[in-house]
Homo-oligomer: A and B are copies of this chain.
């Protein structure tokens, strides 16, 4: 593998991608911040998307799913401050208009523009302010940083990364940005992620590889068990590196998937680490499961348990809560076979609690990254999930969000 992190990497690190952001005053015209942004590729792109499985789909999700159906796109327009969800047929019309305004500015067809919105549900987009915001966006090769900032809601910091990889003898780059914070849960939560690469990739394979990478990254993050109406991951590949298009089964495919997964997992962990009110990242590794679906369920259920999360917050080595969460997951388990570790400490083996130093356990729980490892000793499937602790600050942030 020749995958290398790019310093200060972002979504505009790959060739031919420009981005920018501007203040639309979407959420609050009195206190404007950058809340409208655009990603643009100089060349047409092969494109793929993975969107929320929530049965309530926001208008931009509906529109973007249509626009990406042909496997092509050349730009993304996004806003924070208003999700344009639960807004009826009028909201859908406004999402189409948002794409059209950006398309006009960029000299593209509407169908080549994907749309994403995040923020409060049930409120209509302020189209005048949004339109002015889109017009005000200035695109640049460094603009990925601004775009990453513009899509933030309760995030405390932007999430960006890029890596280089070998694409059929040439060096390509894949970079991405994301916003997360609350309402994050398996199957895509209030989470936007945009990913771009200058490698050439075959369309069907691009979509397949994105789905696989999302399954072991964004879909393994849980903040609060709530899945949003607006989640989406968009991936654009403009091929400007000039490599032979990467196809399934080719040698370059292994490298590409590793690079894409690296980007997605980095962003997913950043989302968990920056969960609303979070002070710690929780990583849950499950192995020995009967199959991967069960391993994932076990890891996500533990990482998403309010009682696990509050125990980690309080650095309380109450490992029984981890076991109770495991027991209500979809994973088969035999209590007398279960092994449970907190960091390097084994807390349970063959279903029996082990003596451990509470001082050492608390020291492990006091760290900014807390790892639980579970071995079910039933099979060979494994999975990893990420979450964060549950704090008073989470409650404060979420009890006053619309106000």
Contact = CB atoms under 8 A, between A and B. Distances in A.
Contacts of A328: 53-55, 185, 187, 226-227
Interface stretch (A172-180, A210-218, A308-316): A308-316
Contacts of A336: 88
Given A306-B224, A307-B224, A395 B390 contact: yes
B325 A122 contact: no
Given A86-B353, A320-B120, A395-B313, A225 B228 contact: no
A85 interface: yes
Chain A interface category by residue count = 35 or more
A360 to B, nearest CB: 15
A402 interface: yes
A348 B317 CA distance: 44
Contacts of A53: 328
A88 B395 CA distance: 37
A168 interface: no
Given A182-B307, A224-B306, A227-B324, A316 B399 contact: yes
A86 B351 contact: yes
A398 B306 contact: yes
Given A120-B320, A229-B327, A320-B85, A310 B55 contact: no
Given A88-B352, A185-B328, A226-B325, 14 more contacts: A54-B327, A56-B335, A86-B348, A86-B351, A183-B307, A187-B328, A226-B305, A226-B306, A226-B324, A310-B399, A311-B398, A316-B402, A316-B403, A317-B402
Interface of A: 53-57, 83, 85-88, 90, 120-123, 182-183, 185, 187, 224-229, 304-307, 310-311, 313-314, 316-321, 323-328, 332-333, 335-336, 347-348, 350-353, 390-392, 394-396, 398-403
